[in-house]
Amino acid sequence: MTVIRKMFFSATGTTEKIVTRIADRIAALSGFPQITSDFTLPAGRVAPPEIAHDEIVIFGVPVYAGRVPNVLLKYLATVKADGAAAIPVVLYGNRNYDDGLIELRNILEGNGFFTFAAAAFIGEHSFSRILAAGRPDEEDLRIADIFAEGAWRKYMICGADDLPHPIDVKGCDPLRPYYTPRDRAGVPVNILKVKPKVDPVKCVRCGRCAAVCPMGSIDPSDITQFTGICIKCGACEKKCPTGARYFDDPGYIYHRTELELGYTRRAEPELFL
Ligand SMILES: Cc1cc2nc3c(=O)[nH]c(=O)nc-3n(C[C@H](O)[C@H](O)[C@H](O)COP(=O)(O)O)c2cc1C
């Protein structure tokens, strides 16, 4: 029986919100049941799900540095399919998705998925509370419904086994290098080693930051200690109930300010059907 699978990595929830909306709409139109594969946390990436031939998979990741987050590439390589239909979806923080969507499409096609529709949506930037604040918003969700209806129509008209693929999307192939933030003199701003700090007065030691870290990098028994890498996804900072997590690295703050000042226009979702 055909199943709608939503599958996503979503540290601050914007990718999950759009993927869920698209999946809900296709499920409502088709009457097919839904399942979820959330690979945000390390436990969700231990083993890939078994994807059946007749599934429709709505597959979402955020855009990091204009590409699919590189920390996910190893896991993504293990997610195999045998001709299952897939809809690649990326969420980006109002700057640009560059080659993120085409990279995700290529990964899925290379793993045996048939990509027949794709989209890029906008989500509040992981580094900021004002850049694309509150997005995806009601208007984005309305567009997600229209996209889902178009994708479902295409699936119905073509039939599961005759879907034209891969879907044609915007982006460069071969892929361009990862986007590098630069200062006004054109010098790269390196924030790779930056980690969020904890305000000891505000922190109530609830352990939420450790629980939501997609890299499992915060020691739950002492949340001031990092045991692994920080990808600057914003989960610990935005999900802290007392606002105790913060970044104060000058390079990080400089980059955030540049983004907030430089990308004030409202970027619109792009749909490929
Ligand atoms: C390390 C990193 C790099 C990012 N690079 C970009 C980028 O190149 N372009 C952009 O518009 N947004 C960028 N973003 C913002 C995210 O794509 C955006 O906030 C997305 O909605 C986050 O998805 P999530 O809520 O599912 O975690 C980046 C975020 C992070 C953490």
Percent of the chain with pLDDT over 70: 100
Q: Whose CA is nearest to atom 19 of ligand 1?
A: 125
**What is the 12 CA–ligand 1 centroid distance (Å)?**
10
Q: What is the 3-state secondary structure (H, E, C) of the chain?
A: CCCEEEEECCCCCHHHHHHHHHHHHHHHHHCCCEEEEECCCHHHHCCCCCCCCCCEEEEEEECECCECCHHHHHHHCCCCCCCCEEEEEEEECCCCCCCHHHHHHHHHHHCCCEECCEEEEECCCCCCCCCCCCCCCHHHHHHHHHHHHHHHHHHHHHCHHHCCCCCCCCCCCCCCCCCCCECCCCCECCCCCCCCEECCCCCCCCCHHHHHCCCCCECCCCCCCECCCCCCCCHHHHHCCCCCEECCCHHHHHHHHHHHHHCCCCCCCEEEC
Cβ(14) – ligand 1 distance below 6 Å: yes
Cβ(136) – ligand 1 distance below 6 Å: no
User: Do 4-176 and 197-260 come out as alike in CATH topology?
Assistant: no
Cβ(233) – ligand 1 distance below 6 Å: yes
pLDDT in tens, 138-173: 999 999 999 999 999 999 999 888 899 999 999 999
Give the model's pLDDT for residue 184.
78
Q: Whose CA is nearest to atom 1 of ligand 1?
A: 64
Cβ(40) – ligand 1 distance below 6 Å: no
Give the model's pLDDT for residue 198.
97
Give the model's pLDDT for residue 183.
81
Give the model's pLDDT for residue 1.
78
| Domain ranges, ordered by start, for the chain | 4-176, 197-260
Give the model's pLDDT for residue 187.
87
Give the model's pLDDT for residue 186.
85
Q: Whose CA is nearest to atom 30 of ligand 1?
A: 64
Give the model's pLDDT for residue 99.
98
Under-50 pLDDT residues of the chain? none
**What is the 69 CA–ligand 1 centroid distance (Å)?**
9
Domain 197-260 has CATH 3.30.70: yes
Give the model's pLDDT for residue 53.
95
The CATH classification number of 4-176 equals: 3.40.50.360
